[in-house]
């Protein structure tokens, strides 16, 4: 499983587009729910979790796929990060903007609680 962004460095107002991919590295086909009900995108800065896609998610769906050996499935639509902090219960109020000015962030993804082996680092200017 891998995490990716549409760029490595983002200008002041640019919003990162986040994607994930899953590859079956086994010898047999497997069935996996890769829908938004199982996806999680996590952005961290150092040891601090800045944003989770599931914190303020209002709708989710299932997408069960059969992955043949060596087959890969990727996000149908990227998730846009609005460059703000999140936490459960903070969704209705005003939320803090993420620190920019050359700040490093890391994107990790998970499907059904299984975390991606590959992460992606990026910078907010």
Rounded distance between C-alpha atoms, residue 77 and residue 6, angstroms = 12
pTM for the complete prediction? 0.92
Question: Which domain covers residue 109, as residue numbers?
Answer: 2-124
The predicted model gives 28-38 an average pLDDT of 94
When the pLDDT of each residue in the chain is averaged and rounded to a whole number, the result is 94
Backbone angles phi, psi at 104, to 5 degrees: -85, 140
Number of domains in the chain: 1
Q: Contact at 8 Å (CB) between 108 and 118?
A: no
Query: What local confidence, expressed as pLDDT, does residue 91 receive?
Result: 83
pLDDT tens, position by position, 2-23: 999 999 999 999 999 999 999 9
pLDDT tens, position by position, 78-104: 999 999 999 988 888 889 999 999 999
Q: Are strands 2-5 and 72-74 parallel, antiparallel or unpaired?
A: unpaired
Q: What is the CATH number of the domain that holds 55?
A: 2.60.40.10
Question: 109, exposed or middle or buried, with CB in 10 Å at 0-12, 13-18, 19+?
Answer: buried
């Amino acid at each position: 499983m891998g995490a990716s962004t549409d760029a490595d460095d983002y200008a002041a107002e640019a919003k990162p587009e986040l994607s994930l991919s899953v590859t079956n590295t086994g010898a047999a086909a497997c069935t996996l729910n890769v829908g938004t009900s199982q996806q999680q995108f996590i952005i961290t800065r150092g040891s601090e979790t800045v944003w989770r896609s599931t914190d303020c998610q209002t709708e989710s769906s299932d997408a069960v796929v059969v992955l043949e050996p060596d087959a890969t499935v990727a996000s149908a639509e990227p998730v846009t990060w609005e460059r703000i902090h999140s936490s459960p219960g903070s969704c209705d109020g005003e939320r803090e903007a993420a620190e920019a000015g050359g700040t490093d962030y890391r994107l990790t993804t998970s499907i059904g609680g299984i975390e991606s082996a590959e992460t992606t680092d990026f910078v907010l200017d």
